Chains A and B, each alone.
Chain A
């Protein structure tokens, strides 16, 4: 880590970024805060209700349910994607043509627009026209994600694993590349087992990229919207109605902007707290280096 010079003139270099992001960030969040304390009927008719929406939202069992479902989904996603991503990163070739080719192949799901990801899985897992749905049914398992809540939830989970494991794999791959060859040579001299190398050399070095990966995946899976919306539309029942979708229904479908705004701010605070913890952890790791 190089020593940085203390100079407040550096603000001039950051100013364009600050203005650009502030334009799209500050006004909308202020507006959402304003919405959250009012009962809004139309552009010109709104009543101040104070913290009433917050109180109502925090005691609304349906929303707390969807919050719980959201946490469960995010943890399931992380529990599958992180180990799988590390495993893929470990088996990816490190040198030569194959390294570039496998990088590209693994990255492809990340480059597909999110609604197309939903479309791909819709086409792939429908029991009538999809290869996956057809194959599972042919194995004798009754599978139809449009009518069975468990199947729908599992399909969304599988889709997310398919879509986002490559991100963890690529991050870990870059972390592994940063380990100097000398570490492996030392391990070979000590006749360390594969597991010992992983446990004592590779895993510690992966810590900082893993924190970033977990952070990104937590944030994104916590606000997942487009893919399940295309795939299942939130159903059957409420089984795949994630938080973002519940909020959208409230804000746009029923035009209950006030409560929706109050709940999105609660939700923003949750994500903010988790991310602050992760961000502090990253900084501590950087300092420890």
Chain B
């Protein structure tokens, strides 16, 4: 076997390793409870959509997806709006305390969430934001914003300074230059950043669960309801899990070219 065949085989094996657990989740979601507990079947014998039917007809279930979508989109929008100018500042200027500010931003990712949840809950309750989508979006900014600044800064450093200077000589004001010329140049960077914001906000559970109770409860927290008096409803749990994977797959499919290009630029 030659070298490139071995490479392909290695990659294929790894991807199989990644997908077997997901495959198991997917087929589990099409099985009824008796079949799951009755014995091991590699393929559902009684193919059923019951589990999905339950989720799509019960508003407490599907509203969980809507809630998650809302706060993730809000988070992406807020993060990009504040991170773009900041990343520009970091990539073009030196200013008092710049490296320390950057380290402080990153250090917020390091705080162990468990004990910080209580003050978080009280902070957002005291400003009247408890159980709103915006509260979760703001809390997630704590780790998406530093990441976004860091990724965007990399892309912006790749744009030569001459571009800025030429634009200013041509009479562009800063906001006009930034929106008309600069942002289109780093489109892929913005795509990659949005993807990472989505990723970290979508997968996070602790803040999302602590800051919501009814109106903004995310799907990941609703999933715990499948544990009932009669044990866990594995089929329903699996179906809910499958539905949380789909948005991620869709997002990465839409930004795939940006992501591939972003990776090719050697940052991220």
Which A residues form the contact surface with B (CB < 8 A)? 2, 4-11, 13-14, 16-18, 20-21, 23-25, 27-29, 31-32, 35, 87-88, 90-93, 99-100, 102-116, 119-121, 123-124, 128-132, 134, 162, 166, 170-171, 173-175, 177-178, 194, 219, 223, 225-226, 243-245, 247-248, 251-252, 257, 260-261, 264, 267-268, 271-272, 275-276, 279, 283
Q: List A contacts of B37 (CB < 8 A).
A: 128-129
Bound-state Cα–Cα, A162 to B103, Å: 29
Say if the beta carbon of B182 comes within 8 Å of chain A. no
Which chain A positions have C-beta within 8 A of B263?
A: 103, 170, 173-174, 177
8 A–B pairs (Cβ distance < 8 Å), ordered by A: A21-B108, A91-B10, A111-B203, A111-B248, A112-B203, A112-B244, A131-B20, A178-B265
A97–chain B nearest beta-carbon distance, Å:
10
With both chains docked as a complex, state the minimum distance between the C-beta of A87 and any C-beta of chain B, in angstroms.
7
CB contacts (< 8 Å) of A128 on chain B: these are 37
- Distance to closest chain B CB from A250 (angstroms): 8
- Nearest to A111 among chain B residues (CB) is B248
Q: Given the complex, which residues of B lie within 8 Å of A8, measured CB to CB? A: 95-96
Chain B residues with CB under 8 Å of A111's CB are 199, 202-203, 245, 248-249, 251-252
> A103 near B7 (CB under 8 angstroms)?
no
**Interchain CB contact (< 8 A) of B266 among A13, A88, A177:** A177
With A and B bound together, what is the CA distance between A100 and B202 in angstroms? 22
> B220: nearest residue on chain A (CB-CB)?
A113
Cβ of A10 and Cβ of B95 under 8 Å apart?
yes
B225: min CB distance to chain A, Å? 12
Q: Hey, which bits of chain B sit against chain A, CB under 8 A?
A: 3, 7-8, 10-11, 14-15, 17-22, 24-25, 28, 36-37, 40, 42, 78, 81-83, 85-86, 88-96, 98-99, 101, 103, 105-116, 118-120, 122-123, 138-139, 141-142, 145-146, 149, 157, 160-161, 199, 202-206, 219-220, 223-224, 234, 237-238, 241, 244-245, 248-249, 251-253, 256-257, 259-260, 262-268
Contact B266 A175 (CB under 8 A): yes
* Chain A interface mostly: helix
Residue numbers in A under 8 Å from B22 (CB-CB):
108, 120
A109 to B257, CA, bound (A): 19
List chain A residues, Cβ under 8 A from B78. Answer: 20
Check A17 against B83 for contact (C-beta < 8 Å). Answer: yes
On whether the beta carbons of B253 and A104 are closer than 8 Å, the reply is: yes
Tell me, in angstroms, the Cα distance from A247 to B133 when the chains sit together: 27
A14-B86, A91-B8 are known; give 14 further A-B pairs, CB within 8 A.
A6-B95, A8-B96, A21-B145, A24-B141, A25-B108, A32-B116, A102-B11, A103-B260, A113-B203, A124-B21, A132-B20, A174-B265, A251-B114, A268-B111
Expressed in whole angstroms, the minimum distance between the Cβ of B213 and any Cβ of chain A is: 16
Contact of A21 among B24, B88, B105, B262 (CB under 8 A): B105
